[in-house]
Structure 1
Amino acid sequence: MRPSLPDWAIWNSDPGRPAWTVGIEEEVMLLDPDSWSLAQRIDSLLPELSPRLAGSVSAETHACTLELATGVHPSVRSAAAELYSLRVALAGELRPLGLQPAVAGTHPLALGHEVEVSGGARYQLLHEGLRVLARREPTFALHVHVGVPDPHLATRAVDRLRAHLPLILALSANSPFWAGRDTGMASVRTPLFQAFPRAGVPRRCGSYETYVERLDVLLRAGAFPEPTFVWSDVRLQPRFGTVEVRVADAQTSVAEVAAIAAVIQALVRIEATEELADEALVEAHEVIEENRFLAARDGMAARLVDPATDERVPAAEQFSALLEACADHAGALDSRVELEVAAVLARRSGAEHQRQLAHNYGMEGVLPELGRAFLDSTSLVAHVAALAAARS
């Protein structure tokens, strides 16, 4: 008889760690600062990094991508502060190597034939399994981990967070361009990444045991080697003891990262301990998937389906109500300022900002601006006013 839980599913319940801690991972593009094309250099870059960065930088599927990861933090603000310091250190070490980092959901001009797969064993295995899908144009995402004390609360949070994924996506939309053209999408990264298997909105589980059994049958059969080959928009991470929300586009500035992370942290806390999402929407998997597409297409201008009324409601209106519901939790989590940034970001997304840059400078001029914004040092408080002025 199999044990009640396989080793991979044993929840990391560190009694010394407070609940609702935050960790942030962002996928960063490596650029040639002369041509602003993607630089396929991650394999040669990693050995050159200082010890300070070595533990926070890792390869990703594509050789033009790296992941920056913070440690575990008690607040979004401290996680964002570490992320900014990592960006500063990374930019400083890349400069003499002839590389420039930048962040957005897609590279506006990249073409698939230019892409190489990273040399690491994981990514070669992924390439073997996904074949042409692993070689298409890269996409860049933001992943936020929130610590949850036990797997049952975490499963409850994931089940209910599914209903909020379209609004998180709409807030984060930062990828209007692909292969040199305006796609008409706010987040073209979303449908591009959907080509991967085991991606998108997960099914409701109801219990941690159900989640484990659904995944473990695939692992026992050898369909894929380990649980992190599931790339759903939100997933449980037993080895870290976290809920990981993966639906967001990568964000150009750290202040925007902090805003989205604050919304996610508050929502995980709410849905683990209370009931914010309407049960009709939590149950309506097809509606959540449709809303996810509408959010990817239209961002905050989307009109999302409400299954309780059989009507479509403006995403901006829903998000305003969501922020109001998050306010008390944000106060307890010391992230009210970050929610103010989220309210400003909701009025004009990264996708709209990129389109304005393309209008002003041409599509080729978007990338230098993204590169400059990588080290935007505007404080969160000042960012509320600055974003409001720039995006009004």
Structure 2
Amino acid sequence: MASASWANWKTTAAPWTVGVEEEVMLLEVDGSPAWRSEDVLRILPEELVEHARGETHGLALELATQPHARVSDAAAELRSMRAGLAGVVRSLGLRAAVAGMHPLVTADEVEVSPGARYQFLHQSLRELARREPTFALHVHVAVPDAELAVRALNGMRAHIPVLLALSANSPFTRGRDSGLASARTPVFQAFPRTGIPREFSSYAEYVDAIDILIRCGAIPEPTFIWWDVRLQPKLGTLEVRVMDAQTRIRDTAALVALVQCLVRCEALGTCAEPELAHAPEVLDENRFLAARDGIHAQLLDPHRDRCVPASGRLATLVDACWPHARELGCERELQLLAHLAGDPGATRQRAIATEPAGLRGLLHTLQAEFSPPRPQLALAA
């Protein structure tokens, strides 16, 4: 581990801060994909340049907030960045929207971004790099030291199915209903080095597992590991990556609050539930069930020899998170989880798509919800 310079853990003066990364789709006015991320990046105003970057596919951009002590501040910055980006894309005759997948795009029309990283991906992954674009929500939480981060990583593995179930926001792909709440999950899993990582006994073991891939030339650096949850040593954060991107910022804020509290809870060892330390086979099956059925999933509970509702598991997690929410100042955002669970993204998308305008109407709704024109109270959008 000593020779792996990438593994030096950045210690921050303010642990448990959160940063949010949101992947955004670019659209033509009629809702069809706009493969013009490079055009948008070239004309970004100064205040957005450091917070936006391209992604693998030419219709995608990523917006990234600064680290914030409070979830409300991260949500406010994300809202501001959405508004700024909306103005930029409109100047090009385009629109922006957020969901786990574009409901109409097919792989044969996909364009890979021209950046060196993405061309390397295309060379490495071949036609896998041209699968349908996916859009995720990534949440970074600063952890004081590497060993605490590994403890949190191990604990967060058990919560991946609930986080996925709650965030599922991509029922449509290739112009039809996938039957899944999160079609993004299996589509993204076409890439290697995805899914729930194994448990690690120490930070040294974590570093060794990744460094062998770097030393042998399989990957150029650690961010080519796309696990559902991973460590970011250069930032000093644990990053949760399993969630679909959320159309409404209030839903994003609720999920960010849950992640922030769970990471702190697991790192400090105050919310460990031994019964959640399931075998990898159970975690993988629950991950599939969460992607299939969203918050309505029935998750395997091998200790009771039966299935339990994902919504019930969520309620248990929220109860464990309340002391941390009070410490972190995100009680209000944690309360919003009840609204998201009662009105999840996949269910909303399906309801909108049953209207006469169908999936085109859904795309127009996603555009409208990206950055509402009139001023909103915090978390109201």
Give your verdict on TM over 0.5.
yes
Structure 1: runs of 5 or more not aligned = 384-392
Report the Cα distance in structure 1 between the residues aligned to 2:348 and 2:28, rounded to whole angstroms: 23
Report the Cα distance in structure 1 between the residues aligned to 2:298 and 2:376, rounded to whole angstroms: 32
CA drift of 1:193 comes to 0.5
Structure 2: runs of 5 or more not aligned = none
Q: 1:67 maps to which residue?
A: 62
Q: 2:276 maps to which residue?
A: 281
CA drift of 1:93 comes to 1.3
Report the Cα distance in structure 2 between the residues aligned to 1:284 and 1:273, rounded to whole angstroms: 23
The alignment's TM-score, normalised by the length of structure 2, stands at 0.97
Distance verdict in 2 for CA 1:381–1:117, change over 3 Å: closer
Q: Is 1:237–1:243's contact at 8 Å kept on the other side of the alignment? A: yes
Q: Which amino acid aligns with 1:124?
A: Q
Report the Cα distance in structure 2 between the residues aligned to 1:8 and 1:381, rounded to whole angstroms: 37
1:128 to 123, 147, 158: 123
Report the Cα distance in structure 2 between the residues aligned to 1:356 and 1:118, rounded to whole angstroms: 33
Q: 5 Å matches for 1:263-278?
A: 263-278=258-273
Report the Cα distance in structure 1 between the residues aligned to 2:379 and 2:160, rounded to whole angstroms: 26
Q: Which amino acid aligns with 2:105?
A: A
CA drift of 1:44 comes to 2.3
CA drift of 1:310 comes to 2.0
Report the Cα distance in structure 2 between the residues aligned to 1:165 and 1:349, rounded to whole angstroms: 17
Aligned alpha-carbon RMSD (Å) = 1.3
1:18 to 10, 14, 29: 14
Is 1:91 aligned to residue 91 of structure 2? no
Report the Cα distance in structure 2 between the residues aligned to 1:193 and 1:380, rounded to whole angstroms: 32
Report the Cα distance in structure 2 between the residues aligned to 1:225 and 1:247, rounded to whole angstroms: 22
Q: 2:359 maps to which residue?
A: 363
Q: Is 2:75–2:379's contact at 8 Å kept on the other side of the alignment? A: no
Report the Cα distance in structure 1 between the residues aligned to 2:278 and 2:175, rounded to whole angstroms: 39
Q: Is 1:337–1:381's contact at 8 Å kept on the other side of the alignment? A: no
Q: Is 2:139–2:241's contact at 8 Å kept on the other side of the alignment? A: yes
Q: Is 1:163–1:277's contact at 8 Å kept on the other side of the alignment? A: no
Q: Is 2:40–2:88's contact at 8 Å kept on the other side of the alignment? A: no
After superposition, what is the alpha-carbon deviation per residue over 1:281-334, rounded to whole angstroms, capped at 9, x for unaligned? Answer: 324111111100000000111110112222110111111111111111111111
After superposition, what is the alpha-carbon deviation per residue over 1:131-189, rounded to whole angstroms, capped at 9, x for unaligned? Answer: 11110110000000000010000000001100000000011000000000001100010
Q: 1:160 maps to which residue?
A: 155
Q: 5 Å matches for 1:234-273?
A: 234-273=229-268
CA drift of 1:5 comes to 4.5
CA drift of 1:4 comes to 2.3
Distance verdict in 2 for CA 1:180–1:296, change over 3 Å: same
After superposition, what is the alpha-carbon deviation per residue over 1:199-226, rounded to whole angstroms, capped at 9, x for unaligned? Answer: 0000001210000011111111111111
Aligned to 1:161, the other structure's residue is in SS state helix
2:368 to 368, 372, 377: 372
Stretches of 4+ aligned residues off by more than 4 angstroms: 380-383
Q: Is 1:5–1:212's contact at 8 Å kept on the other side of the alignment? A: no
Aligned to 1:145, the other structure's residue is in SS state strand
Q: 1:6 maps to which residue?
A: 4
Q: 2:28 maps to which residue?
A: 32
Report the Cα distance in structure 2 between the residues aligned to 1:240 and 1:141, rounded to whole angstroms: 19
Q: 5 Å matches for 1:311-390?
A: 311-360=306-355, 361-376=357-372, 378-380=376-378
CA drift of 1:367 comes to 0.4
Q: Is 2:168–2:345's contact at 8 Å kept on the other side of the alignment? A: yes
Is 1:303 aligned to residue 298 of structure 2? yes
CA drift of 1:348 comes to 2.2
After superposition, what is the alpha-carbon deviation per residue over 1:321-378, rounded to whole angstroms, capped at 9, x for unaligned? Answer: 1111111111111111111111110112100000010012412110000010011464
Q: Which amino acid aligns with 1:89?
A: G
Report the Cα distance in structure 1 between the residues aligned to 2:263 and 2:28, rounded to whole angstroms: 38
